[in-house]
Amino acid sequence: MDLGLQGKVVLITGGSKGIGLACAKAFLAEGAKVAIVSRSKVNLVAAERQLKTGSEAILKIAADLIDPANARRMVAEAEQGLGPVDILVNSAGAAKRTPPEDLTPEAWRAAMDAKYFTYVHAIDAVIKGMASRKRGVIVNVVGSGGKVASPTHIPGGAANAALMLVTAGLANAYGRHGIRVNAVNPGATLTDRLKQGMEADAKLSGVSPEEALKRATDRVPLGRLAEPDEIANAVLFLASTKASYVTGAVVAMDGAATPIVV
């Protein structure tokens, strides 16, 4: 199936690891031109080694998106190197999981900086240019903790919930400018980031991280956790011309672990 992504300029925050890296691989396979963003230059170099198998158009950008100036610079570098951004995939930032008794005001602020503002700054840096061109797609990877409160992920869940409202609100505000904004809601996914989450859950429950992972897996009706490329496949669809009338949607991807109507 031709997804209409050939030659599209795709900017992926958090593109050096996990779901973001899986998205980069998938877009490159469709013939897109991809810029990957990470705070770590070392991670960017490692990601490039995994991604570059031929003549793929890959651009590496180091930026800490907690700073809005860095987000603006990121977009300027991407557009200078590859052309105007057609698609933004937000997959950067993760709020640290913290047991409730360890929460502090600083932890709440750090969660919003790490997750909410990294996305908002990236969106703000691209959306006005997209509006001027009357085209563009934004896909936000937003954890399912924004729908179902977890005792070890309350600040991060709050940031995710806010991002879902941002997704719906911007879809409504910018649809008349030819811009679509959607989100995917992954549950537990087999990435390096999952380890830290399992350690926090294990501490709260008084079990080993291995047992916490087993319990998380047992809660999923499909009987397994998601692979990063499965999330990437949904991101590609939402970014593609095949989803040309899908906007303001938040797609649940937790293996039916949370059977709710949204």
Domain total of the chain: 1
Q: Quote the pLDDT of residue 161.
A: 95
**Inside any domain, residue 2:** no
- Which of 106, 101, 130, 134 shows the shortest CA–CA distance to 204? 101
Taking only the tens place, the pLDDT of each residue in 190-237 is 787 776 666 767 776 788 878 888 888 888 999 999 999 999 999 999
**Inside any domain, residue 261:** no
Q: Residue 54 corresponds to which tokens in the numbers above? A: 């031929």
For the chain, the C-alpha Rg in angstroms (whole number) is 18
**Inside any domain, residue 258:** no
**Inside any domain, residue 97:** yes
Taking only the tens place, the pLDDT of each residue in 46-99 is 999 999 877 677 999 999 999 999 999 999 999 999 999 999 999 997 788 888
**Inside any domain, residue 82:** yes
CATH number of the domain residue 238 falls in: 3.40.50.720
What range does the domain containing 155 cover?
9-253
**Inside any domain, residue 153:** yes
CA gap 126, 137 in Å, rounded: 10
Contact, 51 vs 44, CB < 8 A? no
**Inside any domain, residue 69:** yes
**Inside any domain, residue 1:** no
